Amino acid sequence: MVIEPSKPQYIQIADELRARIDQRVYQAGTSLPSEQRLADELGVSRVTVNKALTLLRASGDVKVRRGAGTYVRSLSRILRDAKRRYAARDHGTGAGEVEVTGLNLQSRTDYREIGRVHPPTAAAKVLRLEGDKDALVRRRVLYANNEPTQIADSYIPWDIADGCDALLRADAGKGGSYSRLAELGHGPVRFTEDVNVRVPDDAEQRLLDIEATLPVFEIWHVAYDAEDRPVELCIHVMPGHLWTLRYDWDDETRSGARH
């Protein structure tokens, strides 16, 4: 490659390596050449290559495995279609599984906790739980081909979940928790989502196996029943480099002919 004097070398090297990853010169899940080999090939110093790899680590394009070297990310981006994902949940045990299996990836969900809890203040406020009212929590980490893709913590008002054994199990059955809520007379009919971008905390870094500087999406997804009662809050934490968020809607101002 030709190094341009007007642009920092390490940024040009990062761009070149990213292009090779996109073009599959370096295949997903495989190790990159050593820093010294890349330096010799590209005609730059090893320090420059190291700085370029730091940029790629920060963007999620590569991952360092201690004692094994630097590896290309193993997963391509996953599309999260907010409108259509829940309509397809009956094809599996939940929307997250459907998204992953639709890409011919192996889905896995590990539950960290299922039980009755006093929810955090912010979660209780969203669910309109007053006083010391409890909620059912379902904390889980979702995987694709054994790579963590998101953390999802769901809160359901305890007075709704109480007595539903399926909601206390990791496998809530076909259609997931929303189908069970429907059977309880609280089927979701309306949803809202608030999306924020931030850096992960220490626990999230470990669970998602990501760099401290890699941004994550934090999505607060709320489901409402026909009485407009919030029946579930799910807090998703998702690595930004793995996900594309899609939202679509109709133009409600266009009702009939305009004059």
The answer to whether 9-72 and 78-246 have equal CATH topology is no
Number of helical (H) and strand (E) elements in the chain, helices listed first: 8, 10
Instruction: For residue 226, name the pLDDT band (cuts at 50, 70, 90).
Output: very high
Which CATH architecture is the domain 78-246 placed in? Answer: 3-Layer(aba) Sandwich (3.40)
Domain ranges of the chain: 9-72, 78-246
For 31-59, write each residue's pLDDT tens digit: 999 999 999 999 999 999 999 999 999 88
pLDDT at position 153: 98
For 135-153, write each residue's pLDDT tens digit: 999 999 999 999 999 999 9
CA distances from 25 to 17, 33, 43, 167, 212 (A): 9, 11, 19, 46, 27
243 CB-near residues (< 8 Å, 6+ apart): 77, 78, 79, 80, 149, 150, 217
Beta bridge partners of 117: 135
Of 234, 243, 244, 171, residue with least CA distance to 208: 243
pTM, to two decimals: 0.85
- Torsion-angle region of 209 (φ positive above 0: left; ψ -120 to 50: alpha; else: beta): left
Domain 9-72: which CATH number of 1.10.10.10, 3.10.450.240, 3.40.50.1980, 3.30.379.10: 1.10.10.10
Whether the pLDDT of residue 133 is over 80: the answer is yes
Give the whole-number percent of the chain exceeding pLDDT 70: 94
